[in-house]
A and B are shown apart, each in its own frame.
Chain A
Amino acid sequence: MKQLLYKEWREHFKTALIGLAIFALLLTLQVRSGATQLQNFALGGDSQSLASWVQPLLSDALLKEAVFFCAIFGALLGWLQIQAEKHPDLRAFLLHRPVARTTLLWSKLICGAGLYALGAGVPLAGLVIYAVTPGHVAAPFEWAMVLPGLNAFLLGLVFYAAGLLTALRPARWYGSRMFGLAPALIAWGCLFELPEFWQSLAVIGLAGAILGVAVWGGFQTGGDYSNQAWPGRLSLSIVCALAGIILCGGAAVILAKTISPSQPERYCYYQLTRDGGVYRVSKEGLGPVNIVDLNGHPLLDKKTGKTIRREAFDKLRPASISTWVSFLRPWRDGERNWNRWYCNRLRYYMPWQQADKTLWYLTRAGRLAGYDAVTRRPVGVLVPDNDSGNESLAGSRFAWPENYSRPNDFESYNNQPRLLASARSLYLVDVENRTVKPLVSAGQEGGIGGYSADYDQDEVLVVTRDFIRLMNLEGATELQITNEPTRPGGSTTITVSRLETTNQFAVELVDFQRSHQIQWVRAGNEIQWVRGVSDIMRRQQLPPLPEIQWDFSVEQGCLLIIPTAVRMSLKWIVCANFVADHAYDKWDALSLIPVGFSILMGWSLGRRLHFTLRDQAAWAGFNLIFGIPGLLAFLSVQEWPAKAICPHCKRLRRVDREHCEYCGGEFNPPERNGTEIFEPLPAAGGAGTLD
């Protein structure tokens, strides 16, 4: 084993060194790019897109580059480890070692992993050390920020296994040799699309395990399928079926995009006007925009006397301010927030403001942390004022602003303090003077559900469990009405519009309810007309709007090629009963047709090749799960033996079986031509033949 490890190490050490040099260079360039931007900002330049560079561990560009490199490097290393010994004689020299083939494979894997760690892991470790060391990165650091890079590294190991399999597997069709890459490509696709690290890790682990077993099976037999043990055969079949899913899915999407008609424009919503009127605006396909009042009468243009046009109607909109109100907060109620995935910097901090060469971040601990752009070290922390005693339950922390307009970039200070809320209070935060001034307190039983500010208009809308208040930044109240949150699990959009009559407002409350964990659906719509500060003149529940129906039958028809089991799994994993009305159930049922076709085709081909009943049943089960991609896998992995005429029954029989499938007869020995020279075996110490 030691000699084998040494051989592998020596053989591919150069590749690892080249990989190390390239990756280190790529990472250095990326880090330098971020450092240069920070330097420019420190010298007085702007901070545009600085947020995406300042923490290299979470830089999108750097992570993409790292994933790309790790995938290519891993696949290349794995491929080279087999390809270097592809010459039959050299391969024979290796395989004729008096050691088990599993030992030979382990030596390759251990050394390959070590070399991969050298080429890809060392530069990544260097990056982490750089980011951890104070004075390098002017941004908060948590060890969890290392996880995206770690997953990129681990993904490369999956590609390494894919490279091994690609080099090992003899392929019959042009291009099907690349099928081995399919699980790795799927893992790549999932890498940054799953919210949690462990989910990506699970996909990587699963893909790695499938590929690992397929590599083991292939190495035992030199790539032959039929002589492998069943785990190897099953894994290779799954690998090829996954490749089939990618191919079929890609083909279906391209076909759907090519032949499906463009969807007509459809919408329907309520709109207030400055005079306090409520109108329903709707459009269906190529038809005109319908603008009607609640009784269904069209709104006429006062100038022309004709039905008003959309452009003219939009001019009737009142000035308004709105906020999204939810009493669910990720760190309070455990609500899943799909925007804060483990690889997204918003999970750890939000770039907040920049003032006087200091970058301020709202961390997930609910604190504003300032970093000096010149020294790249922390300069201070701002927390909510705890004097009122209101923060005892939620801790002394700022809540995440739901409707912050620039979550990916720093906002300039411009001598303007900004609003931030804790669980129970709204504060005016001045980062330059480092002060936190309470503006609104919701009291012990209340809570800040949402707020919005128009700093130019000196206007703040704040919603608590008890009230809806419109005020200015000095704290003077213009409007305050009672809030009646009816659905604690739901959310509301509240819009306060100033009507043309002085001191009159319209407050529109649109309730939304979570539909099956993912989608917000409109659950109610109410408008209150208010005079003065709190005099509600009128309130009206608006009738429910019709749901827009989209026709995706062409797309769904094309996607029938995706096997039923995979469709259902994807729905279960990704969408979690996404479609409430089960509109697509019929498509799921229809997708059984190609699955049935695959089973029949597989069964028919198996019969023609005289598979055993057990093999037939196994392939039927496989095709039941994987459908058309399963059939592709069947066709690509299965070796098709030649056939010859049976000397006894004269029917075509497989040449790889001792006995005829039809008559049970054996093959005849090769025909004699009268020139044979055989002699009986000598008793000992000589040679001879059996004839």
Chain B
Amino acid sequence: MNDAPVIQTRGLTRYYGAKAVVQDLNLEVMRGSVFAFLGRNGSGKTTAIRMLLGLLAPTRGGGSLLGCDIRALTPAVRARIGYLTEEHQLYGWMTVREIGEFQAAFYPRWHPKIFTGVIGHFGLRPGLRVKELSRGQRAGLALALTLAPDPELLILDDPALGLDPVARRSLVESMIYLTRRSDRTIFFSSHNLGDVERVADQIAVLDYSVLRVCCSLETFRGSVREVLLRFAGAPPPLPPIPGLLQAFRTDHELRLTCVHYNRETEQALRQLAPVSLELPPLGLEDAFISYLGERGEKSFILAEPEVES
């Protein structure tokens, strides 16, 4: 197996006008991994993917895909990359069969069985026109078109967007099917953390154009911790806590989410003299939402009613 990264970027940056949409993205994705690219809407995931595929010119920086400069991807390299777009836009006037034939003409490694299998999985009849398909069916067709060329690298831009749970499950199963071959790499963006948890082994998180996380799923889950502090009275003001993501204040509790929780953090919290300090388990979705949610302290203490004299 070749150890060179399949995807590599160096300082990849894109501006729209004066606004930086992707800033200094340094990323490496190794062969055989399933890499989830996460972030909130507008965080720059799609822009980054379009730059990776040479569909959008970076403002500065660069990168390579399968060893080829992203600014000059050759047809031979493109033939090794499957790309599923975010909204699964296809030619509406074509039938399922026609669009399959259209796609097959470009790929020497086209596998009709995969195509037939995937469209069958989504219940698509070959005579249907694309414009007559539901969103989920169109996603299935787009996935079939992406998988059938047997690509080495699969780049999926939010493939489950707008799909119902059944269609989404089909899509995830298709991805799992593909990853049975260890030399295949999947790079996908998603908002659905259940899917990410099922298939991804590496994640990267874009936090408003800046890459903040790039690690294995376990590392991420282990790095984001929730701390519950109980007090006899009202919780005292918080001192500066390194890695603090969010703090929720109630009448007698202080619920904190932070990264890199360690002994120093614990000591700083114990100085607040809580009655108890607990570390409840945190699921990936909660960890992710905490990570990408609004930073800072929030209070759920109701305002005291005015006392009438």
Contact = CB atoms under 8 A, between A and B. Distances in A.
B214 A89 contact: no
A224 interface: yes
B299 interface: no
B166 interface: no
Contact of A93 (B78, B81, B85): B85
Contacts of A222: 55-57
A224 B83 contact: no
Contacts of A674: 242-244, 259-260
B28 A688 contact: yes
B78 A686 contact: no
Contacts of A95: 55
Determine the main DSSP class of A at the interface with B: loop
Interface string A264-286: 00000000000000000000000
A90 B243 CA distance: 41
Interface string B185-202: 000000000000000011
B212 A677 contact: yes
B201 to A, nearest CB: 7
Contacts of A681: 28, 30
Nearest to B242: A674
Given A677-B259, A687-B29, A655 B15 contact: yes
A10 interface: yes
Nearest to B10: A690
Interface residues of B, number: 71
Interface string B9-35: 001010101111001101111111101
B50 A679 contact: no
B75 A677 contact: no
A676 B50 contact: no
B76 interface: yes
Determine the main DSSP class of B at the interface with A: mixed
Interface string B218-237: 01100110000000000000
A222 B57 CA distance: 9
Given A100-B75, A688-B28, A88 B50 contact: yes
Interface of A: 2-3, 6-7, 10-11, 87-93, 95-100, 221-222, 224, 227, 641-642, 655-658, 667, 669-670, 673-679, 681-691
Contacts of B223: 677
Contacts of A641: 15, 59
A687 B26 contact: no
Contact of B26 (A90, A667, A683, A690): A690
B284 to A, nearest CB: 13
A93 B30 contact: no
Interface in B253-301: 259-260, 291
Interface in B82-132: 83, 85-91, 93-94, 101-102, 105-107
- Interface core residue of B18, B215, B244, B245 (most chain A CB under 10 Å): B215
Contact of B57 (A99, A224, A676, A690): A224
Contact of A89 (B78, B85, B101, B106): B85
A685 B59 contact: no
Given A675-B245, A676-B212, A688 B30 contact: yes
Contacts of B18: 642
A687 B214 contact: yes
A438 B308 CA distance: 129
Given A89-B88, A90-B89, A675-B291, A96 B83 contact: yes
A10 B95 CA distance: 12
Given A3-B106, A676-B212, 13 more contacts: A98-B75, A99-B106, A227-B57, A642-B18, A656-B60, A669-B24, A674-B260, A675-B207, A681-B30, A686-B30, A687-B28, A687-B30, A688-B214
Contacts of A92: 50, 53, 55, 83, 85
Given A667-B24, A678-B214, A686-B30, A99 B15 contact: no
11 contacts: A3-B105, A90-B91, A96-B78, A98-B79, A674-B243, A675-B245, A678-B213, A684-B3, A686-B30, A687-B201, A689-B27
Given A88-B50, A96-B78, A98-B76, A675 B91 contact: no
A11 B93 CA distance: 8
Contacts of A91: 55
B182 interface: yes
B171 interface: no
Nearest to A669: B24
Contacts of A96: 53, 55, 78, 81, 83
B210 A670 contact: yes
Nearest to A690: B26
- Interface core residue of A6, A10, A673, A677 (most chain B CB under 10 Å): A677
A545 B221 CA distance: 102
Contact of A689 (B26, B55, B107, B224): B26
Contacts of B30: 681-682, 684-688
Contact of B33 (A88, A227, A686): A686
Contacts of B59: 641, 655-656
